[in-house]
Amino acid sequence: MTASTTPVRQSSVRAHNLALVLQTVANSADPISRAAVAGATGLTRATVSALVDDLIAGTLLTEVDPAPRSGAGRPAAGLRPAANGPAGLGLEINVDYRAACVVDLTGTVRHHLVETGDQRDGREGLFELAHRARHLAEADGLITAGVALAVPGLVTAGGIVRVAPNLGWQDVTLGTHFDGLPLIVDNEANLAALSEQDTGELPPSFVYVSGEIGIGAGIILDGALYRGVRGWSGEIGHIPVDPAGPLCRCGARGCLEQYAGQEAILRAAGVPTVADLPGADLSAAGTALGTVLATVINLLDVDTIVLGGIYAPLLPALRPAISAEIGRRVLTAGWSPIRLRAATLGPDAAVRGAAGAVLRGILNDPAGWLGRFATR
Amino acid sequence: MTASTTPVRQSSVRAHNLALVLQTVANSADPISRAAVAGATGLTRATVSALVDDLIAGTLLTEVDPAPRSGAGRPAAGLRPAANGPAGLGLEINVDYRAACVVDLTGTVRHHLVETGDQRDGREGLFELAHRARHLAEADGLITAGVALAVPGLVTAGGIVRVAPNLGWQDVTLGTHFDGLPLIVDNEANLAALSEQDTGELPPSFVYVSGEIGIGAGIILDGALYRGVRGWSGEIGHIPVDPAGPLCRCGARGCLEQYAGQEAILRAAGVPTVADLPGADLSAAGTALGTVLATVINLLDVDTIVLGGIYAPLLPALRPAISAEIGRRVLTAGWSPIRLRAATLGPDAAVRGAAGAVLRGILNDPAGWLGRFATR
C-alpha cells in the first residue's frame, strides 16, 4: 500500500528506455523509422535517436536503406534487429538425442545440430556439441551471448537439476556458467512452450505437452509461463491413468508415461522406431493422453492444447481418441470446443526455446548487454 | 508497447485515492490516525483529511477515541472501518443446505442462517432466506450493499449458471440483480478460497478443495484467484480416479466424486449422516483424494492444500491416506513437504466468501459506493 518515494535513477530510466526502443523495433513486422519508434513509445525523437545510436553501436540494431517511394520527401531509413550481433546458443539433452541451435536476434536459426543415441551415460557429448555450435556461430561473425539448456526434469535455481527420471539424473549441478558464458538451465517443456508462444499464433493461455520418452507440460496463462511455487509445474507424465497400472520409473503405478510415453507407444504399436509409427493404431495412447488432458482442462480451464515432440507428427492418429475422451470427461466440452494443435516447431521447440531464452534476456535488458559488449 | 497519452482525469484520481485511503485503514490491525494514513500512502495530510471526511460521511469509516497515552501531546483519533455502514449479504445453495450470512465492513459476521434439506426442487427457499437475512441486517441499521451467491457449478458472465450437476441446474439465469441490489454469482469453491485467503494465514499460492456432495477447487496463484479462460477452473470432482470406475452424474466414469464425494463417503462408511463420520474408516476416500491432489500438485506445483467443507473436520481421518498417496505420486515430495490444512472457516467458507465478495467490491471502489449512497 505504501507509495514509492524512491527517486527513479537516471541509469534505470535509460535501461528502461533502451529496452522499450529495442522491443518496439523487434515487435515491428517491417523495418521501422526512428520517428515511428518515437511515436510508438512516447519518447522524444532526440532521445530515441541517442538510444538507437547506442543500440546500433552495441550490435543490437541495424539500419536498412528505405524502399524507394513515389511520394514527396526523403523516405526515412528503417531499423531492425541486427542479424550479425548476439546469438543465443540453445542446447537440449533428452534420453535418446541431444541438440544445439544457434539463433540470431532476428529470430533466424543459423545452425541446428542434432545427434541421436543414448544420452544417459554422460554429458561429454553435449559439451562437445555445444563447442561445435559455438564455433559455427562465431565463424559467422556472431557473438554468442549465452547458453540455455533444456532438460527433461525438475530444475531449481542455480542450475541444479533436482531430478530427471528418464535421464537417471538426480541433484546434478550444472551451474550458472558454461564455457565462460552465462548458462540458463530450464525444463524442456517450459522452453518449448515459450518458443511456441513466440510464433504469435496461439491464444494468451494454452498448455504445451511435450511427448518424448518422458512427458512434460509447459503452462502459459494470460501470456506468461506459469512455473509454480518452486518452478516444478507441469509434471503431467506422472498423472495416473490407472492407479493400479504398470510400475513407472518414478516409483508410482499407472503414470501417463506408461501409456503414452515414446517407449510405451512403440511397444503397443509393435514397431522399433518413431519413424514407423505413422499408420499404426495409437488409440490406447490417445485415450490415456485424452484422459489426462481432460484433467488438465477441468483443472485449468484452458481451451487450447499444443502437442509437441513426437506427438506433433502423430496428432492425426492420436486425435480421435483424445477428442473422444475430452468430450466424455470435460464438464464444459459441450459449451466450448477444445482446440488441439500440433506444435508448429515440432520436435525442435525445446532447443529453439532455449536459444530464445538467451535472446529474451537481451531484449529485456539491452543495457546489460551493452555493458558486457563494451568490455569485450 | 505504446505509452499512455491519455491525461489522467481528476475524478479517477479521487476514486483511486479514496480506495487507497480506505484500504490502508482496512488493512491496519489497529485504528490508524490521519497522519499515519498520509505517511503510508504518500498523500498530503490535507488530501487525506478531505478524503477521510467523505468516507466517514459515506458510512465507510468511523473515528474512534484515542487510547489514553502518557507521553506529551494530544493523541490523535484513530480511523477504522465502520461497523454500521454497508454490509455484504452472502448466500450459498448446495444440494442439501442453503445458507445466508451478513458481514459488516469490519469483517464481523452479524447474522448467519443455515437451513438444511434438499435444495434441488427450487430456489424459493433461498429467496426467502435472503429476505430474512436482509431484514435482520437492516434492523441492525446496516445498509445491504449487495448480494453474492455461491453455487456448486460453472458460472458465466451475467449470472448464468451453465451447469451445476449435483443441483440438476443447467443454463439457469440468475441475472445481475436480486431484490433491487447488485448480484454476484460465483462458484462456491472460488468464493471459499478467497475467504480462506482473507484469514491472512496462507501462502500466496494454494489450492482450496471443497468437499460436499460435489467436490470443487478454488485455485489461488501468487495472491490472486485463478479463474481460467472462461471462469471454469478447478473442476477436480471430475478428475478420474479410475477411468473404468463407477458412473458419475456427469456421464463419465470413475470421477473423484464417486469415491470422495459426501454420498460416496457415507456409503463406504455405512453411516447415515456426516455427523456419524468421525471415527469411521475413511482410507478409501483419502486414497482417492490423495491420488487427485497429487495430480493437482504435479501440475500446478503448489505446496499448500486447504481442505474445506466436510473435509475440514474429517482431516485427521483422511490425512494418513492422502499423505501416503502424495508421497508416492508427487515427483517432488522428497524435496519439499506438502502442507495439508483444514479450512479455518470450515463449512462456512463459501457463504463467508460470498459476503466478502460484496465488501471487496466496496473496498476496491468506494467512490462507486459513495455515489450510490448519496442518491439513496
- Give tens-digit pLDDT for A13-57: 999 999 999 999 999 989 999 999 999 999 999 999 999 999 999
What residues of chain B lie within 8 A of the CB of A332, using their CB?
154, 162-163, 230, 232, 235
pLDDT band at B1 (very low <50, low <70, confident <90, very high): very low
Q: Do B233 and A42 touch (CB under 8 A)?
A: no
Partner A, chain B 247-276, Cβ-Cβ below 8 Å: 250-252
- Please tell me the least confidently modeled range out of A44-48, A176-180, B107-111, B292-296: A176-180
Which of the four CATH numbers 3.40.50.2300, 2.40.30.170, 3.30.420.40, 3.40.1280.10 does domain B202-343 have? 3.30.420.40
Amino acid identity of residue B171, one-letter, is: D
pLDDT band at A187 (very low <50, low <70, confident <90, very high): very high
Task: Note whether B305 and B290 are within 8 A (CB).
Answer: no
Q: What is the pLDDT of residues B265-276, one digit of tens each?
A: 999 999 999 989
What residues of chain B lie within 8 A of the CB of A24, using their CB?
1
User: Average pLDDT in the B134-152 region?
Assistant: 96
pLDDT at B5 over 50: no
* Gap from B166 CA to chain A (nearest CA, Å): 12
Rounded to two decimals, what is the model's pTM?
A: 0.89
Q: Residue A18's pLDDT is what?
A: 96
Q: What is the pLDDT of residues B164-184, one digit of tens each?
A: 888 888 899 988 898 899 999
pLDDT at A5 over 90: no
Q: Residue A56's pLDDT is what?
A: 96
Task: Note whether B265 and B285 are within 8 A (CB).
Answer: yes
Cα separation, A166 vs A157, whole angstroms: 21
Looking at domain B86-193+349-374, its CATH superfamily turns out to be ATPase, nucleotide binding domain (3.30.420.40)
Quote the cell numbers at residue A182: 552465462
The DSSP symbol for B68 reads P
Given the C-alpha cell 519518447, which residue does it identify? Answer: A43
What residues of chain B lie within 8 A of the CB of A2, using their CB?
40-42
Is A298 touching B (CB cutoff 8 A)? yes
Task: Pick A230's closest partner by Cβ from B233, B242, B301.
Answer: B301
Is A231 touching B (CB cutoff 8 A)? yes
pLDDT band at A75 (very low <50, low <70, confident <90, very high): low
Cα separation, B61 vs A298, whole angstroms: 42
**Closest chain A CA to residue B253:** A329
Mean pLDDT in chain A?
91
**Closest chain A CA to residue B222:** A229
Name which of B41, B169, B241, B300 to mutate to probe chain A: the one with the most chain A Cβ atoms within 10 A of its Cβ: B300
Q: Do A301 and B228 touch (CB under 8 A)?
A: yes
Amino acid identity of residue B22, one-letter, is: L
Q: Do B226 and A229 touch (CB under 8 A)?
A: no
Q: Residue A3's pLDDT is what?
A: 39
DSSP for B30-64 reads S-B-HHHHHHHH---HHHHHHHHHHHHHTTSEEEE
- Provide the ipTM: 0.88
Is A221 touching B (CB cutoff 8 A)? yes
Name which of A41, A48, A298 to mutate to probe chain B: the one with the most chain B Cβ atoms within 10 A of its Cβ: A298
Q: Residue B66's pLDDT is what?
A: 67
Q: Do B301 and A228 touch (CB under 8 A)?
A: yes
Domain parsing of chain A, residue ranges: 10-81, 86-192+349-374, 202-343
Is B46 touching A (CB cutoff 8 A)? no
Task: Note whether B191 and B209 are within 8 A (CB).
Answer: no
pLDDT at B21 over 50: yes
Task: Pick B252's closest partner by Cβ from A203, A226, A328.
Answer: A328
The yes-or-no answer to whether B10-81 and B202-343 have a common fold is no
Q: What is the pLDDT of residues B198-238, one digit of tens each?
A: 988 999 999 999 998 899 999 999 999 999 998 899 999 99
User: Average pLDDT in the A241-269 region?
Assistant: 93
Which of the four CATH numbers 3.90.1300.10, 3.30.420.40, 1.10.3210.10, 3.30.360.10 does domain A86-192+349-374 have? 3.30.420.40
pLDDT band at B68 (very low <50, low <70, confident <90, very high): low
B314: CB partners within 8 A, 6+ apart: B211, B265, B277, B278, B282
Q: What is the pLDDT of residues B334-360, one digit of tens each?
A: 777 899 999 999 889 999 999 999 999
* Gap from B37 CA to chain A (nearest CA, Å): 10
DSSP for A314-365 reads HHHHHHHHHHHHHHHH-TTTTTSPPEEEE-TTGGGHHHHHHHHHHHHHHHH-
Q: Residue B204's pLDDT is what?
A: 97
Task: Please give the residue that has the higher pLDDT: either B351 or A66.
Answer: B351
Cα separation, B120 vs B122, whole angstroms: 6
What residues of chain B lie within 8 A of the CB of A324, using their CB?
none
* Gap from B2 CA to chain A (nearest CA, Å): 5
Is A163 touching B (CB cutoff 8 A)? yes
B353, B358, B355: which is closest to B90 by C-alpha?
Answer: B355
Q: Residue A7's pLDDT is what?
A: 47
User: Average pLDDT in the B151-175 region?
Assistant: 88
Q: Is A140 exposed, middle or buried, given 0-12, 13-18 or 19+ CB atoms closer than 10 A?
A: middle
What residues of chain A lie within 8 A of the CB of B221, using their CB?
221, 226
User: Average pLDDT in the A5-17 region?
Assistant: 73
Q: Residue A359's pLDDT is what?
A: 97
B86, B97, B93, B94: which is closest to B134 by C-alpha?
Answer: B86
Q: What is the pLDDT of residues A122-175, one digit of tens each?
A: 788 899 999 999 999 999 999 999 999 999 999 987 889 988 888 888 899 988
Task: Pick A296's closest partner by Cβ from B299, B331, B336.
Answer: B299
* Topology, domain B10-81: Arc Repressor Mutant, subunit A (1.10.10)
B285, B96, B305: which is closest to B193 by C-alpha?
Answer: B305
Q: In this prediction, what percent of chain A has a pLDDT beyond 70?
A: 94
**Closest chain B CA to residue A333:** B232
Q: What is the pLDDT of residues A291-350, one digit of tens each?
A: 999 999 999 999 999 999 999 999 999 999 999 999 999 988 877 789 999 999 988 999
